């Protein structure tokens, strides 16, 4: 085989195997079978294209070939399990499936696959790895490393997800208009969780984890391309704005640098500009939600030269909207910090103390560290110290623990 052909096939594989898989998954209703058929189709392509050359529409060729490979595989398997009438019916369906695929159909199949992998009937802890594996094409080994579990455990989760799709017949379709908002919400939350896994990088696998952030951004771009919804835009904006601070978030010792101390010249202006534009577009649609508001808050920071020059009144106003859309103790805590920046530390302390009284945030280290900071600013270093020590006892990631220790050590006790 010529070197150039194999390189070209490799390039097609990298770029398009996800599309081939997504369409085959829809046709076959079975991701395992679709994966096998995709591999077979590429192997066949290497042989066939050697003599006949690369076809005009290689993706369509691969899908069509994969389809017949899958039918062969079903026939072969059936000798072992025998499900005759159902099986014949299925094979007919696959054969009769529309032979001409438009560019749009193929694109939509990727979207359908995302919705299938994030179907609420699949265990939430399985949705994320399944999406990374089947939609993003990450290897099981890499996913396992990023989530710090053994490869075998991760492989099991993915197998479980694929089996559920097959046996319960979870469809590969776009949700209907009535259930779209609810279904989109679960897709967006999967994307955001993938991003956060990467963003809160903490251990030796930091490089792999930052890949996850990139993957989440890529996924959101694909999603936006296929489904231009304000919240998809909002989520992409939010992730881009967070990502823009990546270089400033940690110092050379891998210690956390807080927003007020970050060197803002390190912020990535290109990502910020893209994020700002997306936020404006989403806000203008007036159909925005949770992600867009968070992105808007992030945008206010991105546009400010320093913490002092930040428009805290605007941020508090945005939190007031956010607490109505998505009330949660964490939103209340973040709002309390913004209120403190606007009205002074006593106002913030009162709000956090109220929150802690309701007990919901009692085990959340950031509630205690915020409290410690307010007390320090109020000239009560002893009280600040015990609040920060409480936070330290609750913090689980080493960079956060180091940050808290530094803050405790820098207190000037009377």
Partner 1 sequence: MKYMLLIYGSEDTWTEQEREDCMLESMAISDELESQGKWIASSPLFPVSSATSLRVRNGKRQITDGPFAETVEQLGGYYIIDVVDLDEALSIAERLPPSKKGTVEIRPLFPLPARRASNITAEETR
Residues that bind partner 1 (CB under 8 A): 81-86, 119, 121, 167-171, 173, 175, 179
| Residues ≥6 apart with Cβ < 8 Å to 373 | 345, 384, 407
**Of 52 and 79, which CB lies nearer to partner 1 in the complex structure?**
79
For the bound state, the minimum distance from the C-beta of residue 181 to partner 1, rounded and expressed in Å, comes to 15
Alpha-carbon distance of 133 to 147, in angstroms, equals 13
For the bound state, the minimum distance from the C-beta of residue 112 to partner 1, rounded and expressed in Å, comes to 12
For the bound state, the minimum distance from the C-beta of residue 182 to partner 1, rounded and expressed in Å, comes to 11
**Of 3 and 178, which CB lies nearer to partner 1 in the complex structure?**
178
**Of 118 and 240, which CB lies nearer to partner 1 in the complex structure?**
118
**Of 47 and 169, which CB lies nearer to partner 1 in the complex structure?**
169
**Of 102 and 179, which CB lies nearer to partner 1 in the complex structure?**
179
Alpha-carbon distance of 340 to 332, in angstroms, equals 12
- A 10 A CB-CB count for 68 gives 15
For the chain, how are helix, strand and coil distributed in percent, rounded to 5? 75, 0, 25
Judge contact between 329 and 361, C-beta under 8 A: yes
Judge contact between 282 and 288, C-beta under 8 A: yes
Alpha-carbon distance of 105 to 23, in angstroms, equals 8
Alpha-carbon distance of 279 to 17, in angstroms, equals 32
For the bound state, the minimum distance from the C-beta of residue 26 to partner 1, rounded and expressed in Å, comes to 12
Alpha-carbon distance of 129 to 8, in angstroms, equals 29
For the bound state, the minimum distance from the C-beta of residue 171 to partner 1, rounded and expressed in Å, comes to 4
Measured at the CA of 126, the angle between CA 122 and CA 127, to 5 degrees, comes to 70
**Element housing 87 (H / E):** helix 84-96
**Of 169 and 269, which CB lies nearer to partner 1 in the complex structure?**
169
Q: Is 256 helix (H, G, I), strand (E, B) or coil?
A: strand
**Of 53 and 85, which CB lies nearer to partner 1 in the complex structure?**
85
């Amino acid at each position: 085989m010529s070197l150039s052909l194999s390189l070209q096939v490799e390039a097609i594989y990298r770029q398009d195997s996800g599309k081939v898989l997504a369409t085959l998954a829809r046709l076959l209703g079975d991701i395992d079978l679709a994966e096998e058929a995709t591999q077979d189709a590429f192997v066949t392509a290497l042989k066939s294209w050697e003599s006949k050359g690369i076809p005009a529409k290689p993706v369509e060729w691969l899908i069509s070939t994969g389809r017949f490979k899958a039918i062969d595989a079903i026939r072969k398997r059936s000798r072992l399990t025998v499900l005759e009438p159902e099986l014949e019916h299925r094979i007919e369906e696959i054969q009769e499936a529309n032979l001409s695929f438009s560019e749009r159909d193929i694109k939509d199949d990727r979207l359908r696959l995302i919705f299938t992998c994030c179907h609420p009937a699949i265990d939430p802890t399985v949705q994320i790895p399944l999406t990374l594996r089947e939609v993003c094409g990450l290897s099981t080994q890499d996913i396992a490393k990023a989530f710090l579990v053994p490869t075998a455990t991760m492989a099991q989760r993915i197998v479980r997800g694929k089996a559920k799709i097959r046996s319960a017949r979870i469809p590969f379709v776009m949700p209907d208009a009535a259930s779209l908002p609810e279904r989109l919400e679960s897709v967006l939350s999967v994307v955001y969780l993938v991003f956060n896994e990467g963003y809160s990088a903490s251990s030796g696998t930091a490089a792999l984890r930052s890949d996850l952030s990139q993957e989440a951004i890529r996924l959101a771009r694909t999603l936006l391309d296929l489904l231009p919804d304000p919240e998809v835009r909002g989520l992409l904006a939010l992730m881009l704005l967070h990502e823009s601070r990546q270089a400033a978030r940690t110092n050379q010792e891998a210690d956390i640098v807080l927003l007020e101390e970050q060197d803002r010249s390190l912020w990535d202006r290109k990502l910020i500009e893209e994020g700002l534009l997306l936020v404006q577009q989403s806000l203008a649609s007036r159909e925005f939600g949770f992600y867009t508001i968070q992105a808007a808050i992030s945008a206010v920071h991105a546009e400010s030269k320093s913490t002092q020059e930040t428009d805290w009144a605007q941020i508090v106003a945005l939190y007031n909207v956010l607490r109505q859309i998505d009330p949660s103790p964490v939103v209340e805590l973040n709002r309390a910090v913004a209120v403190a920046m606007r009205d002074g530390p006593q106002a913030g302390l009162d709000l956090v103390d109220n929150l802690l009284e309701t007990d919901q945030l009692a085990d959340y280290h950031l509630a205690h560290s915020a409290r410690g900071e307010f007390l320090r600013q109020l000239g009560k270093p002893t009280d600040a110290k015990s609040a920060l020590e409480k936070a330290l006892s609750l913090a689980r990631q080493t960079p956060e623990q180091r940050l808290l220790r530094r803050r405790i050590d820098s207190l000037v006790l009377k």
